[in-house]
Amino acid sequence: MTNILRCYLMRQFSGDNNNNYCCDMRGMLGFLILFLLSKKPMHGQEIAEEIARRKGEKPSPGTIYPALKNLRQMGFIISDEKEGKTIVYSLTDRGKNALRTSKRRFIQTFLGVFP
Amino acid sequence: MTNILRCYLMRQFSGDNNNNYCCDMRGMLGFLILFLLSKKPMHGQEIAEEIARRKGEKPSPGTIYPALKNLRQMGFIISDEKEGKTIVYSLTDRGKNALRTSKRRFIQTFLGVFP
DNA sequence: TTATATATATCGGATGACCAATATATTACG
DNA sequence: CGTAATATATTGGTCATCCGATATATATAA
């Protein structure tokens, strides 16, 4: 595991606050993808389209696929056997745990923003 | 107004999706500050402490003050006359509008994340 | 078969959030 | 008064997100 991945992991999903990355608000894309995949397994384009529906702008391939690659390398998502041209991703148990932790922090941070 | 500020403005607060910055998820700090100030006027340290309470980690001075400066330069917040060592910030009308737009986009993007 | 559309993938570059270190000003306390 | 603590502010540097461009593979249509 590279240092970059470790930092990303710590920053986004660690419950341990003894690191310097907690205040970095970047990385909502990974979080959002995990959340979307927790609803139902999807392939890359499906995810991009769902994000487009929510944000009004579709993330480019250069955004979505590296993000998926990171999440896969971290063991948070797994790709089913490639069938044809689509690759369907779903959450691993580790991904579910990561999402749970991440969600708790997200909710706590933005408490009151939602009506 | 510099180009950087314009891009930031467009990215974070514009309802116009015809720009290339909508998919950038960075900048949650500015949004969070606007939200906190909408509850009550605060000075820098108060804001930092409230964020610490929510996130579990206090943003450094090098994070919070440039963020406040940006928001001020964009006309979203205004500083009351400096009394002693504290500078109390509050939202301008433009800041309130920005927050409203930003909030709508935030809620739409993360729909379902909150319980 | 060939052409087009779709899905996946990678790379280079730009960007700006963020922190650590540092500096200054004001207040509080001895 | 001088020292310590608090609040504000700036700078330099690191970092990873994100996009645009490009490439490849598969599926569909002609």
| Number of domains chain B is built from | 1
Residue of A nearest to B115 (CA): A107
Cα separation of B17 and A111, whole Å? 26
Range in A59-63, B11-15, B100-104 with the lowest mean pLDDT:
B11-15
In this prediction, residues A26-40 reach a mean pLDDT of: 86
DSSP category for residue B23 = T
Confidence of residue A26 (pLDDT cuts 50, 70, 90): low
Range in A23-27, A31-35, A84-88 with the lowest mean pLDDT:
A23-27
- Of the candidates A29, A8, A111, A109, the one whose C-alpha atom is nearest the C-alpha of residue B57 is A109
Cα separation of A12 and A67, whole Å? 13
Residue A115 lies in a domain: no
pLDDT over 50 (residue B53):
yes
Query: Which residues 29-88 in chain A show a CB within 8 A of chain B?
Result: 29, 32, 35, 39, 51, 54-60, 63
Smallest CA–CA distance, residue B41 to chain A, in Å, is: 16
Q: Phi first, then psi: give them for residue A30, nearest 5 degrees.
A: -60, -45
- Whichever domain contains A78, its CATH number is 1.10.10.10
B42 or A82, higher pLDDT: B42
Residue B114 lies in a domain: no
Residue A14 lies in a domain: yes
Residue B58 lies in a domain: yes
The 3-state DSSP class for residue A89 equals strand
Question: How many angstroms separate the CA of A23 from the C1' of D29?
Answer: 51
Strand partners, A77: A91
Cα separation of A76 and A96, whole Å? 7
Owning domain of residue B70: 3-12+24-106
**Structure confidence by residue, pLDDT tens digits, B12-23:** 333 332 222 222
pLDDT over 50 (residue A24):
no
In this prediction, residues A23-34 reach a mean pLDDT of: 68
Residue A113 lies in a domain: no
Residue B84 lies in a domain: yes
